[in-house]
Amino acid sequence: MSTPDTPVAAESDRAAFRSGSVDEQSRTRLAEGGLVYRRTSVDGEDFAPWLQSVARGFQDGERSDEHIASARERSAYRRLTGVYDPAAPVSEAPVATIASWLGELTVPGHAALPSCAISAVTVAPTHRRRGIARAMLEGELRSAHAAGVPVAMLTVSESPLYGRYGFAPAAASASWRIETRRAAWIGPRPDGRVDFIPRQRLRELAPGVHDRVRLRVAGEIDVPGSHWDRFAGTEPTAEKAGDKRAIQYTDPSGEVRGLALYTVRENHDDFTKATVNVAYLLADGDDAYAALWRFLLELDLVAEVHADELSVDEPLRWMIADQRAATVTVRDHQYVRILDVTAALEARRYGAPGLLALDVADSLGFTAGRYLLEVGPDGRGSVSAWDGPLPAGAVEVALGVAELSAVYLGGVSVATLVSAGRVSASDPGAASRVLGWHTAPRLSIWY
Ligand SMILES: CC(C)(COP(=O)(O)OP(=O)(O)OC[C@H]1O[C@@H](n2cnc3c(N)ncnc32)[C@H](O)[C@@H]1OP(=O)(O)O)[C@@H](O)C(=O)NCCC(=O)NCCS
């Protein structure tokens, strides 16, 4: 079993990333339009207007003082940036926002690498479509690249936004709607026990359990504490937190191996047809997984169970008698953007040995070039420059950095992207075998 004994993103690197200055090129570009691009401090007076602009940017309501205080406490891990318009009537409120932090992304082979997570991208409707988002995104990517961060990642509100910067969906997510009576549990019935626990207890246990399991699934990240509070409803401002039920699975030796949080929505027309929404399910091992899902699917008075951000290849499908009891919707979820081909490709493991000659295009210039990826029988890859002619036995693959990022976590095959006209490869099957992975990548949160 792998555990992240030593973080690949050291606290000192995270702190240096947080305190880094804004990208000069983007600062100059925005200044030419009369705008000021600068860091916003979590502790200072800037924070409240910054947060209000983020809320407005996502079409949400005004934040209360209590909410701002709570968000301030939970934002120390991020670096916050705003774009300010000195000519606006409320010039202390940024007209655009972005947040980022140095986190860890799990890659195939029980390994992680430092990754720049980006969130809170908003541009006020008064300032849209004049290149402000582009300046901020390119600015954060240049900052991350300059800091030696090999990959950037984000989850999105809309799919078409980030391909132009070299991002691609690398881990899809599945939303499940399960008719419980049709489903009929045929999976294992583990010997441990399921018990209700206080939400606060789940909040305390979740980071430890998640750290034990996150290196097993490519696409997962180290979850910032504020997200556990959001799931568990343990922020002071959480609405309807009492609706959330928390359970744990304890194995026969007494160790907590799984956690789940769910809410129940009654059906007033028919009390036997309530709906359960699974806010989070975290399983350290197959027994915990089976026990928690069985508990949820066998709840009395419940007709449907909904769950989001699941894998596209859930074992759950094989634990119910009627697979058509589940309606599954798949969509793009975890986006990845490689910034350093050598560091990124050497961090993961591969599906098969082989030699790939990669010709990578990158309109932002970070990764454009020709690389040789040699994968040995142990599944480890080493990258060198591809200077001369095509080496004997090499498979030639020409692709953009977005396509390389799409296949990076093993969630989509090179052959599929060749068929889609997005990649060209001299032997798509061989390239797919090398870059493929035996488990589907997944990201169980959004950020
Ligand atoms: C999405 C958003 C950040 C774009 O900001 P913006 O400053 O208007 O974007 P820009 O002017 O920099 O546009 C950059 C590029 O993205 C394109 N673009 C911007 N918004 C788009 C949209 N909603 N759909 C498709 N393309 C879009 C532009 O056409 C432009 O393309 P080009 O440079 O390749 O010609 C802004 O509309 C917004 O705040 N939306 C609501 C919040 C949100 O969804 N944020 C994203 C969170 S993941």
- Render pLDDT for 98-114 as a digit per residue (tens, 0 to 9): 999 999 999 999 999 99
Q: Which architecture does CATH list for 11-154?
A: 3-Layer(aba) Sandwich (3.40)
Burial class of 401 by CB neighbour count within 10 A (0 to 12, 13 to 18, 19+): buried
- Which CATH number applies to 341-435? 3.30.1050.10
Superfamily of domain 174-332: Gcn5-related N-acetyltransferase (GNAT) (3.40.630.30)
- Count H helices, E strands: the chain? 13, 17
Among protein residues, the one with the nearest Cα to ligand 1's atom 43 is 122
Task: Tell me what the mean pLDDT of segment 423-432 comes to.
Answer: 98
DSSP for residue 185: B
Ligand 1 close to Cβ of residue 318 (< 6 A): no
**How far, in whole angstroms, is CA 154 from its chain's centroid?**
6
Task: Tell me what the mean pLDDT of segment 76-94 comes to.
Answer: 98
Q: Are strands 245-250 and 354-361 parallel, antiparallel or unpaired?
A: unpaired
How many Cβ atoms are within 10 Å of 16's Cβ, its own excluded?
12
State the pLDDT confidence band at 4, using cuts at 50, 70 and 90. Answer: low
pTM for this prediction: 0.97
Residues of the chain with CATH 3.40.630.30: 11-154, 174-332
Looking from the CA of residue 164, the nearest atom of ligand 1 is: 34
Residues of the chain with CATH 3.30.1050.10: 341-435
Each residue's pLDDT tens digit, 264-288: 999 999 999 999 999 999 999 999 9
CA of 119 to the centre of ligand 1 (A): 14
Ligand 1 close to Cβ of residue 129 (< 6 A): yes
Task: Tell me what the mean pLDDT of segment 334-343 comes to.
Answer: 98
State the pLDDT confidence band at 5, using cuts at 50, 70 and 90. Answer: low
Q: pLDDT at residue 1 above 60?
A: no
Task: Tell me what the mean pLDDT of segment 143-147 comes to.
Answer: 98
Q: Two tokens at 48?
A: 């409240």
Give the type of residue at 342: T
State the pLDDT confidence band at 2, using cuts at 50, 70 and 90. Answer: very low
Each residue's pLDDT tens digit, 210-226: 999 999 999 999 999 99
CA of 158 to the centre of ligand 1 (A): 9
CA of 172 to the centre of ligand 1 (A): 22
Ligand 1 close to Cβ of residue 246 (< 6 A): no
Q: Two tokens at 23?
A: 């990208």
